Structure 1
Amino acid sequence: MAAVDDTTSPSTTEAWRQRLDAEMARSGEWPERSPWIRLAVAALPRDRFAPGRLWDWDGHAWRPVDRDDDPGRWLELLHRRPSRPAVTELAGNLPSSSLSAPAVVVDMLDSLLLEPGHRVLELGTGTAWNAALLAHRAGPGRVASIEVDPDLAAAGAARLRAAGLDVTVQEGDGGSGLAAGAPYDRVIATYAVERIPWPWIEQTAPGGRLVVPWGRLGHVALTVADDHKSATGWLQGLARFMPDRTTATAGAPARGFAEIRRSTPPGPERRVERNPAELQDWDLLFHLRVVLPEIQVETAVDEDGVSAWIHDGASSWATLSSTPEGVFVHQGGPRRLADEVDAARDEWDGLGRPEVYDYGMTVTPHEQWTWFGSPDTGPRWPAPA
Structure 2
Amino acid sequence: MLAEQQRLDTAMTAAGAWPESSPWIRQAVHDLPRHEFAPDRVWVWDGTAYRPIDRSADPTAWAQAVYAGPYDSTVTQLTGARATSSLSCTSVVADMLDSLQTDPGHRVLELGTGTGWNAGLLARHAARVDSVEVDADLAASAAQRLKAHGLDVAVHVGDGARGWPADAPYDRVISTYAVEAIPWTWIVQTRPGGRIVTPWGRLGHVALTVAADGRSAHGWMQGLAQFMPARHAPTNCTYPAIRGAGPPADERFFAHDLAVLHADWHLRFAVRARHPHIHLTTAADDDGAHAWLHDNAMSWANIVTTGGHTIAYQGGPHRLADQLEAAWHWWEAEGRPDLYDFGLTVTPDDQYAWCHDPDTGPRWPAPHT
Q: TM-score range by the shorter chain?
A: over 0.9
Selected match of 1:262 from 228, 244, 252: 244
C-alpha displacement of 1:213: 0.8
**Which residue is 1:40 aligned to?**
28
Q: Tell me, in whole angstroms, the C-alpha distance in 2 between the residues paired with 1:48 and 1:224.
A: 35
1:207 aligns with 2:193: yes
Contact conserved, 1:127 with 1:156, CA < 8 A, in 2?
Answer: yes
**Which residue is 1:313 aligned to?**
296
Q: Hey, which bits of structure 1, 4+ residues long, moved more than 3 A?
A: none
- TM-score under structure 1 length normalisation: 0.93
**Which residue is 1:8 aligned to?**
none
C-alpha displacement of 1:334: 1.3
**Which residue is 1:369 aligned to?**
352
Q: Tell me, in whole angstroms, the C-alpha distance in 2 between the residues paired with 1:307 and 1:247.
A: 28
Contact conserved, 2:179 with 2:199, CA < 8 A, in 1?
Answer: yes
Q: Tell me, in whole angstroms, the C-alpha distance in 1 between the residues paired with 2:316 and 2:165.
A: 45
Q: Secondary structure at the match of 1:327?
A: strand
Counting only pairs closer than 5 Å after superposition, residues 215-294 of structure 1 correspond to structure 2 as 215-248=201-234, 253=236, 255-262=237-244, 264-280=246-262, 281-294=264-277
C-alpha displacement of 1:348: 1.0
Q: Tell me, in whole angstroms, the C-alpha distance in 1 between the residues paired with 2:66 and 2:182.
A: 30
Q: 1:91 to 1:264 in 2, by over 3 A?
A: farther
Q: Secondary structure at the match of 1:30?
A: coil
**Which residue is 2:335 aligned to?**
352
Return 5+ residue gaps in structure 1 as ranges. 1-12
Paired AA for residue 10 in structure 2? A
Contact conserved, 1:264 with 1:333, CA < 8 A, in 2?
Answer: no
Q: Secondary structure at the match of 1:137?
A: coil
Q: 1:263 to 1:59 in 2, by over 3 A?
A: closer
Paired AA for residue 291 in structure 2? A
Selected match of 2:161 from 175, 184, 202: 175
C-alpha displacement of 1:309: 1.3
Q: Secondary structure at the match of 1:220?
A: strand
Paired AA for residue 305 in structure 2? S
337-346 or 53-62: which moved more?
A: 53-62
Instruction: Show CA shifts across 1:16-45 (max 9, x none).
Output: 111111111111000100000001011111
Counting only pairs closer than 5 Å after superposition, residues 1-385 of structure 1 correspond to structure 2 as 13-139=1-127, 142-248=128-234, 253=236, 255-262=237-244, 264-280=246-262, 281-385=264-368
Q: Tell me, in whole angstroms, the C-alpha distance in 1 between the residues paired with 2:159 and 2:82.
A: 22
C-alpha displacement of 1:325: 4.7
- TM-score under structure 2 length normalisation: 0.97
Contact conserved, 1:317 with 1:333, CA < 8 A, in 2?
Answer: yes
Q: 1:110 to 1:304 in 2, by over 3 A?
A: same
C-alpha displacement of 1:262: 1.5
**Which residue is 1:4 aligned to?**
none
Return 5+ residue gaps in structure 2 as ranges. none
Q: Tell me, in whole angstroms, the C-alpha distance in 1 between the residues paired with 2:250 and 2:187.
A: 49
Instruction: Show CA shifts across 1:127-151 (max 9, x none).
Output: 0000000000014xx1100100000
Contact conserved, 1:19 with 1:80, CA < 8 A, in 2?
Answer: no
Cα RMSD between the aligned structures? 1.2
C-alpha displacement of 1:268: 4.3
Contact conserved, 1:173 with 1:246, CA < 8 A, in 2?
Answer: no
Q: Tell me, in whole angstroms, the C-alpha distance in 1 between the residues paired with 2:129 and 2:232.
A: 23
Contact conserved, 1:264 with 1:332, CA < 8 A, in 2?
Answer: no
Q: Secondary structure at the match of 1:247?
A: coil
C-alpha displacement of 1:241: 0.3
C-alpha displacement of 1:330: 1.2
Q: Tell me, in whole angstroms, the C-alpha distance in 1 between the residues paired with 2:309 and 2:50.
A: 37
Q: 1:325 to 1:72 in 2, by over 3 A?
A: closer
Q: Tell me, in whole angstroms, the C-alpha distance in 2 between the residues paired with 1:89 and 1:233.
A: 32
Paired AA for residue 202 in structure 1? V
Q: Which has the larger radius of gyration?
A: 1
Q: Tell me, in whole angstroms, the C-alpha distance in 2 between the residues paired with 1:82 and 1:322.
A: 33
Paired AA for residue 130 in structure 2? A
C-alpha displacement of 1:263: 5.2
Identical positions, percent: 57
C-alpha displacement of 1:257: 1.2
